Amino acid sequence: MIKKNDHKKAWIALVIAVAVLVLVGALDNLPHVPSMLLTVLQKGAIYALVAVSMNLLNGFTGLFSLGQAGFMLLGAYTYAVLTVPVERQASVYQRYEDGGLGFSVTQSLGNSMGQFGLLLGVVICLILAGCVAGLFAWLIGLPVLKLKSDYLAIATLGFAEIIRAVVQYEKLGPVTNGSNLLYGFTGFTDFHLGSLKLTTVMPFLFSGLCIFVVVLLINSTYGRAFKAIRDDEVAAEAMGINLAKHKRMSFIISSFFAGISGALLAMFQASVQAVAFKAAMTYEILLIVVIGGIGSITGSAIAAFLFVGCSEWGLRFLDNETTLKNFDAKVKFAVVFGVLIAAVVAFGLLRMKRKGKKLVDKVQRDGKTYYQRRITGPILGLGLAIVALGWDVWFVISPRLKLPLLRSGFRMVVFSVIIMIVVLFFREGIMGDKELWDLGKKKRSAKAKAGAGNE
Amino acid sequence: MLDKILPYLLAGVSVGGQYALIAIGYTMVYGILRLINFAHGDIFTVAGFVMVYAAATMPLSVSIPLTIVLTVILGVLVEKVAYRPLRSAPRMSVMISAIGMSYLLQNSMWYLTGGLAKQYPVLPWISDRVNVAGTTTSRVTIITPFLTILLVAALVLLIKRTKIGMAMRAASRDFETAQLMGIKINNVISFTFVVGTLLAAVGSMLYFSNYATVTPTVGAMPGLKAFVAAVFGGIGSIPGAVIGGFIIGICESLIKGTGLTTFSDAFTFALLIVILAVKPTGLFGENLTEKV
Amino acid sequence: MSENVLRVENATMQFGGVVAVDNLNLEINEGEIVSLIGPNGAGKTTAFNVITGVYAPSNGRVEFCGETIVRNHPQGKMKKLYKGQNPELYTSAFRVQAEDAEAKTALEETEKERDPAAFTDKVLAPTPDVITKLGMARTFQNIRLWKSQTVFDNILIAKHLRRTSSLFSATFRLNRREEAAQRADVERLLEIVGLSEAKDELATSLPYGKQRRLEIARALATEPKLLLLDEPAAGMNPQETNDLTEFIGRIRSDLGLTVFLIEHHMDLVMDISDRIYVLDFGGLIAKGTPAEIQNNQRVIDAYLGVAEDA
């Protein structure tokens, strides 16, 4: 029966979730754990939620929106404004007289109910953050969702910028602190279970819960309706699905979770400033979604961790000026480099062969034979490889010990190149449109049935 | 009253012309490829940087044409690398590629220049201060609108009277049929990018003569605003992009004049929202209906 | 006399200068199978689109089960461009023609009963989903299945409009019973169209004929009273067409539906239709039983043609 299977899956998922939380909690409290790892985990969890929220809108409903940063901004500010401790409000809002709300939700609840109160306060503020973002989504959605894909992207981008400008407006300063930094509010470090730190467990917990809700939504009848709108909205409308209502629903829900993730980001950074929530942030989220696979929730989560890991940690070495120690080290480096180049060239050639492209194609046209040449790509590639190998040899021979190119900023360049490669050659992303738990099954194609006899 | 407004008006017309030159690049590319070239604003910035480095080592008579040539090469290269392979992919993929390209260009510029702002060289004669109706402003401000209109007129002539222009018009009407009719679509597209990038390069010279600091992200805002101008005028329509550019430039400048500087950027986007809500195809745009 | 299910009055659809549908009048009664035929470009699919709400007509009224669901009249710029007859038919300027005042009032009363807003300027142009909810479902000339979904899910999604659960209860699985009932319904429909074995396959992996059947099953899932089929036999071989003919008959007899179809396969049309309407250049050129249509000279000239060696 289907029911038993579902129950089993649910229990397995629960066990895995608890195990992950315990593991993360352990990392939080064990000594000698690099703080970079914790940073990556925390930020990764937060970006995973944003990416999932964007995927819900772009990947599952087919609405190309670039307004995520604006909703994150709203959520972040809502949360921060509500939780700055009363006694610090004067110094935080120093440019504005009587700045601040005069109360702090988390402080009030925390004082009366201890850690539990603190948690309750945070949860309330997170939900409020999401609601504010969702409210704005509702307002914006009315005119904007009717637009075609490109225009929708630009309109949402525009709204995000407008929101950013409004939040920084001087007259709203007493509440938002204008264009100044907001800080001092409740962060992840305020949580502890007895003497156990929960700094990384909390974002995982919040993020995980939210993503879980999105997964439930996607697999419900409404989620299927969203997918129908993405695949063919004319047919969806003809089958009784009200486009305006469902698109708005998806938009509001996506923005709700984007708002919560903005609040989580505020908690992580311990400070909030409107200027950080530019279009560039939305682009990063979009790239995460693409790398993970448009239409795959697990893909977005995995890609978020990869993205944050690489940009914060993994590729850091590329930013440091490196001097090799001696000739032996140089040789080792040169060999590794040479092997890498050879591997890339081999991969490229294999790919070409598998796709069946020949270097020179014979084409018959008007009785004459033309030779269609597709040599620019391979020649460029081979040329680059030869140049690289040549430099490799020269580097070993020369007396230099310092590796060129490696200095501040190189990391981001390499990172951007990798992204372009994924976007151009691996458009499906890591997971395509499948989830982690779909990888075992395969949807049977008609070809497989052909063996059993056609009708 | 007039002399209070005049400097802002002049500044507005000037920056409007610069936006117009950038907007043309957007609108032409969109007209044919239905692609928003997010990297266009960054190419504009690159033109600025190239000029900075070129002028430091070479006389202006060399560095100006060199900047234009290098920028155009970059524009065509971006098309070949990032857009051509995705010609048959869904629209979202190409737009994502454009965003990725923009990201790459910004990061590359940051890396190559060390992240410090560079000073744009002073172009003689253009940057001279002149006296106009009681206010002093730099000559760039006066020249820009005229130069813009001249270039646009030349472009319109090119599109209406030459063979390549006709090919461009055909391609923007119906991409696939144009290909079937034997038009070498790749050449047409490359040429479109050449023209668009060339105008952006000229625009960058005029822009940076006014706002002389060049940073890797300096082109993002003008790029976005130029895009709004293109949408406002009707994406795919060149006169529309020009008019849109001037309107945005003037309004933005006037708003700055009233003191609400934070809102001068937001105004552009508010204008965008309004036009998308009221007439999404823009002032001079065309309507398309889908067959069910 | 069975109840009227669909009535189209003076429907005109004009795109700029092109009149795609010109003053179409037709009636479909409960339990009938009615066909709409005509050469390509005659405006048949456009007529479907007007009836199902995809387009708001330039002029005219559509009544479904006695209730007016679509009503429009030329407005604004359209008033000048309008090329049809009766441009003010469904506006406040609507006048009934009668000999004397008494008859006129009587006619006006009947008109008002059918359509309370008949003598006002009110425009009624609902989106297609509203009309589908009222009980009208359709298929498409070019198959529009949801490509990333399985056969089962394609039909299940069409059950969404009949849901009673809210977003909250659906997300948190509080609607188990409703979902189970819907899934059982889908299984039943799969049986009826003979696609039960293929239910977990991707919709696009089915052969063409089966995809058409899937589209019909999907339309049936919306629990319609009237089913509109747009060229259901397109691309089918004679055997498949026979199966389809039989299937449409079963839809009427077993499921109690009324069917309105557009078709070019004349054997299917003549075989199964109770009545036929013939469209040419947007206008109705003939209507009647299959026998009458087959012998109608105008129809033969415009569409059916004559055997060469006659």
**CB neighbours of A85 closer than 8 A, spacing ≥ 6?**
A104, A107, A184, A185
Smallest CA–CA distance, residue C199 to chain A, in Å, is 10
- Which residue in C has a C-alpha nearest to residue B291's C-alpha? C46
Report which residue type is found at C117.
A
Q: What single DSSP character describes residue C150?
A: B
Judged by CB atoms closer than 8 Å, whether chains meet at C54 and A238 is answered as yes
The structure tokens 């499948």 sit at A434
Smallest CA–CA distance, residue A315 to chain B, in Å, is 14
- Which residue in B has a C-alpha nearest to residue A286's C-alpha? B96
Counted across chains A and B, CB pairs separated by less than 8 A come out at 123
- Same domain for C158 and C257, yes or no, is no
Phi, psi (rounded to 5 degrees) for A92:
-65, -45
The structure tokens 């179809």 sit at C261
- Same domain for C150 and C193, yes or no, is yes
CA distance A68 to A125: 19
- Same domain for C230 and C111, yes or no, is yes
Residues 149-168 of chain A with CB under 8 A from chain B are: 149-151, 153-155, 157-159, 161-162, 165-166, 168
- Which residue in B has a C-alpha nearest to residue C144's C-alpha? B292
Residues of chain A with pLDDT below 70 are 1-5, 98-99, 321-325, 352, 355-378, 401-402, 439-455
- Same domain for C44 and C106, yes or no, is yes
Smallest CA–CA distance, residue B176 to chain C, in Å, is 20
* Two structure tokens written together for B200: 């952006």
- Same domain for C255 and C272, yes or no, is yes
State the average pLDDT over residues B156-166: 87
Domain-located, residue C165? yes
Closest to A53 in 3D by CA, of A261, A290, A287: A261
- Same domain for C217 and C229, yes or no, is no
Q: What is the CA radius of gyration of chain A?
A: 26
- pLDDT band at B119, cuts 50/70/90? confident
**CB neighbours of C47 closer than 8 A, spacing ≥ 6?**
C8, C11, C13, C21, C24, C36, C279
Task: Return the bridge partners of C277, or none.
Answer: C36, C287
State residue C81's pLDDT score.
Answer: 81
Chains that touch B (3 or more CB pairs under 8 A): A, C
Closest to C158 in 3D by CA, of A232, A249, A225: A225
Contacts of A234 in chain C (CB under 8 A): 54, 140, 144
* Percent of chain B clearing pLDDT 70 (strictly above): 95
Task: Return the bridge partners of B138, or none.
Answer: B129
Judge residue A169's burial from the number of C-beta atoms within 10 Å of its C-beta, 0-12 exposed, 13-18 middle, 19 or more buried: middle
pLDDT tens-digit readout, B50-69? 988 888 888 888 888 999 99
What is the ipTM, given to two decimal places?
0.90
Last residue of a domain, one of C190, C223, C256: C223
Residues 282-301 of chain A with CB under 8 A from chain C are: 295
Contacts of B289 in chain C (CB under 8 A): 15
* Two structure tokens written together for A13: 């998922």
Using CA of residue C189, residue C191, residue C197, residue C203, what is the dihedral sign?
negative
Closest to A301 in 3D by CA, of A56, A74, A66: A56
Judged by CB atoms closer than 8 Å, whether chains meet at A224 and C160 is answered as yes
Chains that touch C (3 or more CB pairs under 8 A): A, B
Domain-located, residue C177? yes
Which of the residues A151, A169, A421 would you substitute to probe the B interface, choosing the one with the greatest number of B C-beta atoms within 10 Å?
A151
Residues 14-43 of chain C with CB under 8 A from chain A are: none
Of A154, A155, A234, the CB nearest to B292: A234
Chains that touch A (3 or more CB pairs under 8 A): B, C
- Same domain for C43 and C191, yes or no, is no
Closest to C268 in 3D by CA, of C237, C295, C296, C299: C237
Q: How many domains is chain C partitioned into structurally?
A: 2
- Which residue in B has a C-alpha nearest to residue C50's C-alpha? B292
- Tell me if chain A has a CB within 8 Å of the CB of C153: yes
pLDDT tens-digit readout, C224-271? 999 999 999 988 888 888 989 999 998 899 899 999 999 988 888 999
- pLDDT band at B172, cuts 50/70/90? confident
Residue-number span of the structural domain to which C214 is assigned: 145-223
Residues of chain B contacting C, Cβ within 8 Å: 289, 292
CA distance A455 to C196: 14
- Which residue in B has a C-alpha nearest to residue A238's C-alpha? B292
Closest to A152 in 3D by CA, of A83, A79, A65: A65
Predicted confidence pLDDT, tens digits, chain C (310 residues): 478 899 998 899 998 888 999 989 999 999 999 999 998 888 999 999 999 999 999 988 999 998 889 988 888 777 788 887 777 777 766 777 777 888 888 888 888 887 887 777 788 899 999 999 999 999 998 999 999 999 999 999 999 999 888 899 898 988 889 999 999 999 999 999 889 998 899 999 998 888 999 999 999 999 999 999 999 998 888 888 898 999 999 889 989 999 999 998 888 899 999 999 999 988 999 999 999 998 888 888 887 776 665 4
- Tell me if chain B has a CB within 8 Å of the CB of A58: yes
Domain-located, residue C309? no
Judged by CB atoms closer than 8 Å, whether chains meet at A240 and C144 is answered as no
CA distance C51 to C11: 9
Judged by CB atoms closer than 8 Å, whether chains meet at A446 and C222 is answered as no
Contacts of C49 in chain B (CB under 8 A): 292
- Same domain for C292 and C176, yes or no, is no
- Tell me if chain A has a CB within 8 Å of the CB of C91: no
- Tell me if chain B has a CB within 8 Å of the CB of A426: no
Task: Return the bridge partners of C226, or none.
Answer: C136, C258
Judged by CB atoms closer than 8 Å, whether chains meet at B276 and A169 is answered as no
Contact (CB, 8 A) for C274 and C34: yes
CA distance C36 to C250: 20
pLDDT tens-digit readout, B82-95? 898 888 887 778 88
Domain-located, residue C310? no
Judged by CB atoms closer than 8 Å, whether chains meet at A222 and C160 is answered as yes
Contact (CB, 8 A) for C196 and C259: no
Last residue of a domain, one of C199, C223, C247: C223
Judged by CB atoms closer than 8 Å, whether chains meet at C49 and B289 is answered as no
Domain-located, residue C140? no
Domain-located, residue C275? yes
Judged by CB atoms closer than 8 Å, whether chains meet at B292 and C15 is answered as no
- Which residue in B has a C-alpha nearest to residue C48's C-alpha? B292
Closest to A190 in 3D by CA, of A117, A102, A272, A115: A115
Q: How many other C-beta atoms are found inside a 10 Å radius of the C-beta of residue A345? A: 18
Judged by CB atoms closer than 8 Å, whether chains meet at C158 and A239 is answered as yes
- Residues A276-287 as b/e (b if ≥16 CB within 10 A, e otherwise) read bbbbebbbbbbb
Which of the residues A237, A415, A419, A426 would you substitute to probe the B interface, choosing the one with the greatest number of B C-beta atoms within 10 Å?
A419
Q: How much of chain B is in helix, strand and coil states, percent to nearest 5?
A: 75, 5, 20
- Same domain for C17 and C39, yes or no, is yes
State residue A448's pLDDT score.
Answer: 39
State residue C216's pLDDT score.
Answer: 94
Closest to B143 in 3D by CA, of B166, B120, B123: B123
- Tell me if chain A has a CB within 8 Å of the CB of C144: yes
Smallest CA–CA distance, residue C220 to chain A, in Å, is 10
- Same domain for C115 and C21, yes or no, is yes
CA distance A83 to A104: 5
* Two structure tokens written together for C240: 């498949």
CA distance C269 to C275: 9
* Two structure tokens written together for A437: 């738990």
Judged by CB atoms closer than 8 Å, whether chains meet at B262 and A168 is answered as yes
Last residue of a domain, one of C195, C223, C251: C223
User: How is A377-401 classified by DSSP, letter by letter?
Assistant: HHHHHHHHHHHHHHHHHHHHHSS--
